[in-house]
Structure 1
Amino acid sequence: MLLSLVLHSYSMRYLLPGVVLLGTAPTYVLAWGVLRLLSACLPARFYQRMDDRLYCVYQNMVLFFFENYTGVQILLYGDLPKNKENIIYLANHQSTVDWIVTDMLAIRQNALGHVRYVLKDGLKWLPLYGFYLSQMYLVIFPEGTRYNPERTEVLLASQTFAAQQGLPVLKHVLTPRIKATHVAFDSMKDYLDAIYDVTVIYEGKHDKGQRKAAPTMTEFLCKECPKIHIHIDRIDKKDVPEEEAYMRRWLQERFEIKDKLLLEFYDSPDPERRDRFPGKSVHSKLSLKKTLPSVLVLSGLTVGMLMTEAGRKLYVNTWIYGTLLGCLVVVIKA
């Protein structure tokens, strides 16, 4: 009986965020659809501003659960972001939570509504959001897939490729791929200010230097990650080589630096240097004032819609036809 109660309490930790985040999805998509229809008679700048603001509202709600609700501590190191900039965000990839970490940094620069992603092709088939996400870019994970110390076949393939190419064999990251980074930089270089080279560690996922798999979204929402360590290197646009061959070497060197940071965090013989990045850390806490209003607005609108028969019908139809329409658009664009 006691064990059942404990397991039930554990599952409730992620049930509430899951219900709210998925339950408000039709509300968000309906609002976006109305805005899209109105865009025919709205100036392009006004539509873009409203679209960014709407996206920001939903992401604020996401951060309420992943940061305020979980109580995770965010520790920032290196070049702390101060002003809003046009950037490409490069990072090591370990978990689906990595997408949320980008939002955690963006909200601290008042740039949350402008975060865009380079995504795996399969993610465009997500119900309701797939088409919307497939239009986004700027955040890139050059490893191409998640690093998981338990997936030895992936690690071996990456290390074998590095050895065959005469590259250093990396222990805590995969050998990076250049294509997405080069295409993004070449397309956006006239508008960019910098590249943020970000290295992320989820504390609590190693034991005596033995690294474990990063938390899944469910584990994270169940408060299994007490701290996130985020190291940021800001690299000015002029310091990034433009030619693909040179950029490939530059990106490899950036991941060699990441590997050294991770090696020191997990394996340093000096206890003072272990379990932290070099340099001073800043504990950055997110105010409820930035996130809670979005939860109340979207939840309130959703509950209001579900209180009427017409609203419930619209809600269900949005799930069904919104998903089908999104898939149709993706097929046409493929």
Structure 2
Amino acid sequence: MLLSLVLHTYSLRYLLPTAVMMGSAPTYLLAWGVWRTISCLLPSRIYHQVDDRLYTLYQSMVLFFFENYTGVQVLIYGDLPKQKENVVYLSNHQSTVDWIIADMLAIRQNALGHVRYVLKDGLKFLPLYGWYFSQHGGLYVKRSANFNEKAMRRKLMAQVDADIPMYLVIFPEGTRYNPEIPKVIADSQEFASNQGLAVLKHVLTPRVKATHVAVDAMQDYLAAIYDVTVAYEGTVNPEGHRKEAPSMTEFLCKECPKVHVYIERVDRSEIPGEQLHMKRWLHERFEIKDKLLTEFYESEDPERRNRFPAKCSHSKLSLKKTFPSLLFLGGLTATMLMTESGRKLYLKTWIYGTLIGCLWVTVKP
């Protein structure tokens, strides 16, 4: 009986936020569709400004659950600039929550609407979201030999020409680091060794193509690179070995008490332009990440373990930043579902929006 109650409580902890976040997707897409139709008669600059505000509205609601609802402590090391600027955000990758961490930093700079992602190609088929992320300026890329450099460069340059604010999130590892899948780690280390690069323990060997295209395409439009290293507290097993980072579900179930985020701003002038040189530079940045994470997980000094070797600040996100979005989108969705015609429109948006979106990203990636 007790076990059943615990499991029930556990499931409710993530079912509620999941239902609200996913349930608001058709409402959001309809609102965006109305604006997209109206904006056809307006300058593209105005469309993008409102699109960024709409995106801020939705992502603020998401952050209500991932920050305020979970009560997670966000500890920031280094200097996060107060002013928003055009940047490429580079981070280690170990969990689906990593995408949310980028939003956590962006909202603290009032740049949440400017976030665009470089995503794996297969994610473009996500119901509703896959197509919309592309419309918002996200880029879907294939790995290795199938990487389409021209398509990525063309889309980025179009956004630069339109003077669209850019907070471009890239995970150069491509694949999530998971200690429970040692073959991926071993293959990555073997690749680094064969390339004459330092073998990394707590991160995978970064791939340079997407980063190089992004920096090269945006050139003087880009102000800096944010080099971000993320560690989730509580990801060490009883034997002292690193374990898998929390999934979104586990995170929403409050299984991660603290998130440690180390950020270093690298000015655009310090980044090499030629791809071979950038490959070395990027690997060196990941060597720094590896040392930070080694200190975090393995330090022999208990006081230095589970923290990065620098001063940190506990950054608490105000409810004013997130709760109004929850009330607005949640209320709008509830109002739609109260009427029969609203429910039909809601269901049709899920069905036809998904089908049309998948067709769109297939024909026009």
TM-score range, shorter chain: over 0.9
Partner of 1:206: 236
* Aligned-residue offset at 1:278: 1.2
Asked if residue 114 in structure 1 is aligned to residue 114 in structure 2, the reply is: yes
Partner of 1:231: 262
| Aligned counterparts, 1:88-127, within 5 A | 88-127=88-127
Q: Distance in 1 between matches of 2:296 and 2:240?
A: 8
Partner of 1:128: 128
Q: Distance in 2 between matches of 1:298 and 1:42?
A: 25
* Amino acid across the alignment from 1:136: G
Give aligned-pair identity as a percent.
72
Asked if residue 180 in structure 1 is aligned to residue 182 in structure 2, the reply is: no
* Aligned-residue offset at 1:163: 1.2
Asked if residue 321 in structure 1 is aligned to residue 324 in structure 2, the reply is: no
Partner of 2:164: none
Partner of 1:15: 15
Secondary structure of the 1:93 match is: coil
Partner of 1:295: 326
Q: Distance in 2 between matches of 1:268 and 1:220?
A: 25
| Aligned counterparts, 1:1-334, within 5 A | 1-134=1-134, 135-136=137-138, 138-207=168-237, 209-334=240-365
* Aligned-residue offset at 1:136: 1.3
* Amino acid across the alignment from 1:289: K
Q: Distance in 1 between matches of 2:262 and 2:300?
A: 21
Secondary structure of the 1:195 match is: strand
Q: Distance in 1 between matches of 2:309 and 2:255?
A: 24
* Aligned-residue offset at 1:270: 2.0
* Amino acid across the alignment from 1:318: T
* Aligned-residue offset at 1:36: 0.8
* Aligned-residue offset at 1:217: 0.4
* Aligned-residue offset at 1:81: 2.4
How many residue pairs get aligned? The number is 334
* Aligned-residue offset at 1:79: 2.1
* Aligned-residue offset at 1:183: 0.5
In the alignment, structure 2 segments of 5+ residues that lack a partner are 140-167
Q: Distance in 2 between matches of 1:331 and 1:83?
A: 37
Q: Distance in 1 between matches of 2:65 and 2:189?
A: 37
Secondary structure of the 2:263 match is: strand
Secondary structure of the 2:9 match is: helix
Q: Distance in 1 between matches of 2:55 and 2:25?
A: 12
In the alignment, structure 1 segments of 5+ residues that lack a partner are none
Partner of 2:147: none
Q: Distance in 2 between matches of 1:45 and 1:168?
A: 45
Q: Distance in 1 between matches of 2:16 and 2:125?
A: 24
Secondary structure of the 1:282 match is: strand
Cα deviations across residues 247-276 of structure 1 (Å, max 9, x unaligned)?
000000000000000001111122232211
Secondary structure of the 2:109 match is: coil
Secondary structure of the 2:220 match is: coil
Q: Distance in 2 between matches of 1:264 and 1:22?
A: 38
* Aligned-residue offset at 1:116: 0.4
Cα deviations across residues 93-133 of structure 1 (Å, max 9, x unaligned)?
00000000000000000000000000000000000111111
Cα deviations across residues 38-65 of structure 1 (Å, max 9, x unaligned)?
1111222211111000000000000000
Cα deviations across residues 301-328 of structure 1 (Å, max 9, x unaligned)?
1111111111111000000110011011
Q: Distance in 2 between matches of 1:145 and 1:68?
A: 29
* Amino acid across the alignment from 2:236: H
Secondary structure of the 1:55 match is: helix
Q: Distance in 2 between matches of 1:133 and 1:182?
A: 22
Partner of 2:158: none
Secondary structure of the 1:64 match is: helix
Instruction: Extract structure 1 runs of 4+ deviating beyond 4 A.
Output: none
* Amino acid across the alignment from 2:214: A
> Which moved further from structure 2: 267-276 or 197-206?
267-276
Q: Distance in 1 between matches of 2:42 and 2:341?
A: 28
* Aligned-residue offset at 1:80: 2.3
* Amino acid across the alignment from 2:248: M
Secondary structure of the 1:190 match is: helix
What's the RMSD between the two structures over aligned residues?
0.9
User: TM-score of the superposition, structure 2-length normalised?
Assistant: 0.90
Secondary structure of the 1:196 match is: strand
Q: Distance in 2 between matches of 1:143 and 1:16?
A: 32
